[in-house]
C-alpha cells in the first residue's frame, strides 16, 4: 500500500487522487452562507458556489433539517419501491415547471444521457427509426460521459477517447442559418443550454429561440434543454427556458437541485413518457431519498416569487457594478450573462487566471469560462450587502491584476 510521506492536503492530493483537475492551492475547512473559510482562518466571499451547486449557500438550515429528517427513516431502498421523497420532489418540480413526469438520476451528465436516450426511444417506438440526428452547438457543455460528451461541442475534451456515439452535429451558437441548414425530417432533437455557461456565459438570442420553436413545429423533432447550470432559479425564472420561451420536450437538471448532494433529474412531456416502458432505462442510486428530501427543500425555496425576485434584483445590482468595472479597466471587453450567471469578457492582455488569483488575495472566489471570461456564480440567496462587497473586491482585484 502506498504510504504518505507528505503532511499537507496539497501533497497528499497529488499522491493519492488521479490527476484530472488543476486544483487551487487552498484548504477550505468551513462554509457558512455566502462565505468559505480556509485553514488559516481567512474568509472568502464564495462566488463559485461549488460551480452553481450551492444555490442556498453553505449550511442552509432547511437543507440540514431535510437531511436529518430523512436519515431517521432510510438512506436508500432502490428504484424497485415507490417512495415519498421522490414523489414529493417530482410534484414540486412539475408544479414549478409545467412538465408532466420526472426521472431522477445522480448528475448532470446522466440527466443529459437520459434526455438523449428518451428522445431516441420516443421516435423508435413511434416507428420513426430514421430520426437519430441530434443537433447541438459549438462550445456547448453537456457532460463527460460518452453521449453527453458527443453532444458537447468542444472537440478538445473528446480527443483521445476513441469513437463517440454518432449522429451528433454541432452548429455555431445563435447562428440561425446554420441551425436551419441542419434540421430536417431525420432530426431527433435540437439540444441546447438555456445559457451557454461553460462556453463563455453566452445568452441565447431571441432569434435563435424563435428558430428552434418554429423548426420543431415544421419538422416534428424534439427539443432538449440542458438546464443543469442555468436552471433552478439561476436566470431569475425557475427554468431558463421559461424566461426565453423555449418550447422544450425534455429538460435536464442537476447542480443546484440536490443542495450539495448528488442529484439530477429529467423532466418529460407526457407524449415522451407515454413511449417509455419499464426496463428502458435505470439507475441504482438515482433519486436517492436523502438527496430528494434535500431537493424538495431547495425547490420549495427557489420556486417562491420573492426568492426569484431577489435573483433579478441582485443581478441588476451586480450588472451595474460590472459595467462600471468594464468602463474603468480597458482590458475588460464587456459584461455577459443574465440572472446570477454573469461574466466579464477579458482581452488577451489580461489572462482570466490572473484576475482569479488577485480576487482570491482580496478574499473572493470566482471562476472562469471558455474564451478568457471571468464567471460569477454567487449563491442565489446572496444579499445586497454581499454583492456590494463583491464589487469592491473585484474592483481591487482588477486594479491589482492590471497594475
Ligand atoms: C455541469 C454541467 C453538466 C454536467 O454535470 P455533471 O453533474 O458534472 O455531470 C452538464 N451540462 C451543463 C450545462 C453543466 O453546466
Question: Crossing angle for the helix pair 61-71 and 289-302, nearest 10 degrees?
Answer: 150
Residue whose CB lies within 8 A of the most ligand 1 atoms, among 20, 106, 109, 340, for a mutation test: 109
Alpha carbon 240 to its chain centroid, in Å, reads 11
- Residue 269 is predicted with a pLDDT of 98
Between the CA of 324 and the centroid of ligand 1 the distance, in Å, is 31
Q: Is the CB of 199 under 6 A from ligand 1?
A: no
What atom of ligand 1 comes closest to residue 107's alpha carbon?
7
Cell output for 108: 448532470
Residue whose CB lies within 8 A of the most ligand 1 atoms, among 111, 143, 251, for a mutation test: 143
- Residue 221 is predicted with a pLDDT of 98
What atom of ligand 1 comes closest to residue 144's alpha carbon?
9
Q: Is the CB of 254 under 6 A from ligand 1?
A: yes
Whether the model clears a pTM of 0.85, i.e. scores above it, the answer is yes
Q: Is the CB of 53 under 6 A from ligand 1?
A: no
Distance CA 370, CA 376 (A): 13
Cell output for 304: 417562491
How many C-beta neighbours within 10 Å does residue 246 have?
Answer: 23
Q: Is the CB of 224 under 6 A from ligand 1?
A: no
Between the CA of 228 and the centroid of ligand 1 the distance, in Å, is 6
What atom of ligand 1 comes closest to residue 229's alpha carbon?
15
- Residue 4 is predicted with a pLDDT of 47
Q: Is the CB of 116 under 6 A from ligand 1?
A: no
Taking a C-beta distance cutoff of 8 angstroms, is the pair 292, 104 a contact?
Answer: yes
- Residue 1 is predicted with a pLDDT of 45
Cβ contacts of 7-10, under 8 Å, gap ≥ 24: none
- Residue 7 is predicted with a pLDDT of 73
Residue numbers of the chain with a pLDDT score lower than 50: 1-4
Cell output for 266: 429529467
Amino acid at each position: 500500500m502506498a504510504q504518505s510521506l507528505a503532511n499537507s492536503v496539497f501533497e497528499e492530493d497529488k499522491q493519492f487522487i488521479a490527476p484530472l483537475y488543476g486544483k487551487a492551492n487552498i484548504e477550505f475547512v468551513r462554509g457558512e452562507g455566502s462565505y468559505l473559510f480556509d485553514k488559516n482562518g481567512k474568509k472568502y466571499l464564495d462566488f463559485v458556489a461549488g460551480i452553481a451547486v450551492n444555490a442556498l449557500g453553505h449550511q442552509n438550515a432547511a437543507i440540514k433539517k431535510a437531511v436529518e429528517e430523512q436519515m431517521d427513516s432510510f438512506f436508500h431502498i432502490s428504484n424497485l419501491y415507490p417512495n415519498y421523497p421522490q414523489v414529493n420532489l417530482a410534484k414540486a418540480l412539475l408544479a414549478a415547471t409545467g412538465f408532466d413526469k420526472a426521472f431522477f438520476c445522480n448528475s448532470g451528465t446522466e440527466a443529459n444521457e437520459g434526455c438523449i436516450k428518451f428522445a431516441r426511444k420516443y421516435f423508435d417506438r413511434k416507428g420513426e427509426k430514421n430520426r437519430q440526428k441530434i443537433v447541438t452547438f459549438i462550445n456547448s457543455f453537456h457532460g463527460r460521459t460518452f453521449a453527453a460528451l458527443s453532444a458537447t461541442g468542444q472537440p478538445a475534451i473528446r480527443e483521445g477517447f476513441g469513437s463517440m456515439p454518432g449522429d451528433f452535429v454541432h452548429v455555431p451558437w445563435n447562428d440561425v442559418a446554420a441551425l436551419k441548414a441542419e434540421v430536417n425530417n431525420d432530426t431527433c432533437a435540437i439540444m441546447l443550454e438555456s445559457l451557454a455557461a461553460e462556453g463563455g456565459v453566452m445568452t441565447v438570442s431571441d432569434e435563435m429561440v424563435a428558430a428552434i420553436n418554429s423548426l420543431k413545429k415544421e419538422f416534428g423533432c424534439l427539443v432538449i434543454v440542458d438546464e443543469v447550470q442555468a436552471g433552478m432559479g439561476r436566470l431569475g425564472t425557475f427554468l431558463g427556458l421559461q424566461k426565453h420561451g423555449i418550447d422544450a420536450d425534455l429538460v435536464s437538471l442537476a447542480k443546484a437541485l440536490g443542495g450539495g448532494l448528488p442529484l439530477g433529474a429529467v423532466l418529460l412531456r407526457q407524449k415522451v413518457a407515454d413511449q417509455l416502458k419499464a426496463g428502458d432505462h435505470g439507475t441504482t442510486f438515482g433519486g436517492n431519498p436523502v438527496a430528494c428530501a434535500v431537493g424538495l427543500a431547495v425547490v420549495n425555496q427557489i420556486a417562491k416569487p420573492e426568492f426569484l425576485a431577489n435573483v433579478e434584483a441582485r443581478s441588476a445590482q451586480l450588472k451595474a457594478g460590472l459595467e462600471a468595472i468594464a468602463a474603468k479597466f480597458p482590458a475588460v471587453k464587456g459584461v455577459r450573462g443574465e440572472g446570477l450567471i454573469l461574466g466579464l469578457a477579458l482581452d488577451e492582455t489580461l489572462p482570466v487566471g490572473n484576475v482569479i488569483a488577485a480576487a482570491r488575495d482580496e478574499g473572493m472566489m470566482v471562476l472562469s469560462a471558455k474564451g478568457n471570461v471571468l464567471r460569477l456564480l454567487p449563491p442565489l440567496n446572496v444579499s445586497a450587502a454581499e454583492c456590494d462587497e463583491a464589487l469592491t473586491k473585484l474592483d481591487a482585484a482588477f486594479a491589482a491584476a492590471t497594475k
